[in-house]
A = this chain, B = another copy of it.
Amino acid sequence: MATRKADHRPTRGRPPKLSRDVICDAALSMLAEQSAASLSLRDLGEFLGVDPTAVYRHFADKDDLLREVGDRALAPAIRGLVPTDDPGEDLARLCLALRRTLLRNPVALNLTSIGPTRHRNELRITEVMLDAFLRAGLSEDDAVIGYHVLIEYTLGSALLDAPLAAQGSARTQTYRQWRSDYAALAPADYPASVRVAKRLYPPSDQVFQVGLRTLIDGLTT
């Protein structure tokens, strides 16, 4: 059991200033205000009042740190989630919460470029989704496929929306610009695009709901 529990066992020297917990908390609070890419270990060190390289006593490298920070950012996605007797509804609620969480704090999207972390929150999300598919009556093989499909879709949606979500209220203006770009294309070359240009970029939540319902309905029946 417990592969690595002794992270800070009682030592005799002066108490350590830092720990994985303290460092992650600091990184998370910094990431609430700036983008994930712009977080440097030097800034983090300054924020903690510590030499920039002190972090290396607790994490192997920046990726290691971002993996753990990303998993922490996932916490709100499963907080307070209680299974009902409608597995399809459970899946929808989890995916909606996951997407909302990812858009609020895109650090967790970095996880996609690294692969599974097998940290706590990620594991719990996997468990809840697999359980729901199994309760819906799917075979083990189909439950696994359904799980991968829903994760791919939910992360893909959050990923494409993230840069816009960061724009806040300027978002509407950006959409207006993009629509007029499409409307200005040569109709001979891009007939369908020009035709629907005015309707491109509907509210992204609505798009996600349609895709999500389509997948859940199609996968669980």
**Interface centre among A1, A114, A130, A151, by most B CB within 10 Å?**
A130
Tell me which of B1, B127, B200, B214 contacts A215 (CB under 8 A): B214
Q: Is the CB of A144 within 8 A of B211?
A: no
Cα A208 to Cα B9 with chains together (Å): 46
**A143 cross-chain contacts in B, Cβ below 8 A:** 192, 196
Contact with B along A182-221 (1 / 0, CB 8 A): 1001100111110110011110101110110011011100
Smallest beta-carbon distance A176→chain B, Å: 14
Most chain B CB neighbours (cut-off 10 Å) among A140, A152, A162, A214? A152
CA distance A210 to B152 in the complex (A): 12
A56 within 8 A of B: no
Residues of B near A193 (CB, < 8 A) are 123, 126-127, 130
Contact B214 A140 (CB under 8 A): no
Q: How far is the CB of A19 from chain B (nearest CB, A)?
A: 24
Say which residue of B156, B206, B208 sits within 8 Å of A154 (CB atoms).
B156
Mask, A127-158, CB within 8 Å of B = 1, is 10011001000001101110011011111110
| Interface residue count on the A side (C-beta < 8 Å) | 60
The yes or no answer to A29 lying at the interface (CB within 8 A) is no
Q: A152-B207, A152-B211 are in contact. Are A191 and B160 (CB under 8 A)?
A: no
Report A's interface with B, CB cutoff 8 A: 1, 112-116, 118, 123, 126-127, 130-131, 134, 140-141, 143-145, 148-149, 151-157, 159-160, 162-164, 174, 178, 181-182, 185-186, 189-193, 195-196, 199-202, 204, 206-208, 210-211, 214-215, 217-219
What are 18 of the A-B contact pairs (CB < 8 Å)?
Answer: A1-B186, A113-B159, A115-B163, A123-B190, A130-B195, A140-B195, A141-B199, A144-B202, A145-B206, A148-B207, A152-B153, A152-B157, A153-B211, A154-B156, A155-B159, A155-B160, A210-B219, A218-B218
